[in-house]
Amino acid sequence: MHRLAVGLTLLLAATAVSAEGAAAPENLGPKVDRLVEDTTKDAASESRAFDVLLKLGSEGVPYIISHLGDDRRLPEQSIIIRRPGREDRQVKPWYVHDGLEFVLTELTGFSMGPQNGHLLKTQREQNTRKWVAWCAGRFPEQADICRSGNRR
């Protein structure tokens, strides 16, 4: 009985230590804010920003979704989406929103509506609502981020 008690104590202690050592998820909000801002500066900044946004992976999705609806024009209406192991894809978004939707489609495998690169404002608003609802369901612990709407 004593061995069982000692074993359970050691197991609980090890669990507590590993929980303390677990890294908290990084707050990507400021980084994504800066990257989205960079998409509007010039062609080179836009290209670098979209490349980095793609590299954030699924952890960046709620933060990217929070910027949907941004109707600022992009300086360069062409993005090359680099896809390791697959053929690169060229897309032609006119607005920040449209570029972010292409990034989200690449990261999630989902599309929430037409992706012609130059949606009407009403189409962007509708797609934003769909992405936010999907995000809140898929990332419930980050639903507030999905809904935060850092939109312009």
pLDDT per residue over 63-77, tens digit each?
999 999 999 999 998
| Number of independent structural domains in the chain | 1
Residue 86 in domain: yes
pLDDT attached to residue 81: 81
Residue 3 in domain: no
Residue 51 in domain: yes
pLDDT attached to residue 67: 96
Residue 134 in domain: yes
Say how far apart CA 93 and CA 79 lie, in whole Å: 7
Copy the structure tokens of residue 62.
């709620």
Residues in the chain with pLDDT < 50?
A: 2, 4-24
The DSSP output letter for 91 is E
pLDDT attached to residue 105: 92
Residue 42 in domain: yes
Say how far apart CA 147 and CA 67 lie, in whole Å: 10
89 in helix, strand or coil? Answer: strand
Tell me the pTM.
Answer: 0.79
Copy the structure tokens of residue 87.
């053929």
Say how far apart CA 104 and CA 67 lie, in whole Å: 11
pLDDT per residue over 80-106, tens digit each?
887 778 888 888 999 999 999 999 999
Residue 103 is part of which domain span? Answer: 27-147
Instruction: Give the closest residue to 26 by CA, choosing from 75, 60, 49, 53.
Output: 60
